[in-house]
Amino acid sequence: MPYIGAMQPTDKFRTDLDRAARRAAGGGEAAEIEALRSFFSRSFPKVGQEAISSLFAAYLERRRSRPEAAAGWLAGVGSVLMMDYDGTPFDKADWEELREAVALEEEEIDIELLEYVMALVVDHGAL
């Protein structure tokens, strides 16, 4: 891929997510899932573990039937949590899941992140 300027944080997250999955793939599915869970959790220190666990559980549900789509979904969720939504095409149920996950942490989550996520939720008709 040719150099086109500085890598955006969401692009780096996607690249690092793919790299974490590839590194763990040789150890079997359980090792890959644990590596992804660990990477996802470490990537968002401003988000509490209850929300991270909820979102990762939603990813695992998607992964059972459509692994490639699930990886894109998780990367899109990451872009939202980075406060740099990349336009991943979430449906209303996806936005509702995001809303419910951050609501689990409303007392602990960074207020700017909470406001950002909730504004996206409202913009996408999921409130």
Please provide the DSSP assignment of 61-72 as one string. Answer: HHHHH-HHHHHH
Write down the mean pLDDT value for the chain: 87
Question: Which stretches of 82-110 are DSSP H helices?
Answer: 92-103
Mean pLDDT calculated for residue range 65-83: 92
Give pLDDT tens digits for 8-18: 777 888 888 88
Has residue 81 been placed in a domain? yes
- Is the CB of residue 121 less than 8 Å from the CB of residue 100? no
Has residue 82 been placed in a domain? yes
Domain that holds residue 21: 9-123
Q: Higher confidence at residue 67 or residue 97?
A: 97
Q: Which of 22-36, 73-87, 103-117 has the highest mean pLDDT?
A: 73-87
How many domains does the chain divide into? 1
Provide the pLDDT confidence category of residue 21 given band limits of 50, 70 and 90. confident
Has residue 54 been placed in a domain? yes
Q: Higher confidence at residue 16 or residue 41?
A: 41
The three-state secondary structure class of 32 is helix
Q: Which residue has the tokens 């990451």?
A: 78
- pTM of the predicted structure, to 2 decimals: 0.85
pLDDT at residue number 102: 92
Has residue 42 been placed in a domain? yes
Has residue 2 been placed in a domain? no
Has residue 4 been placed in a domain? no
Q: Using the predicted structure, report yes or no on whether residue 23 has a pLDDT greater than 80.
A: no
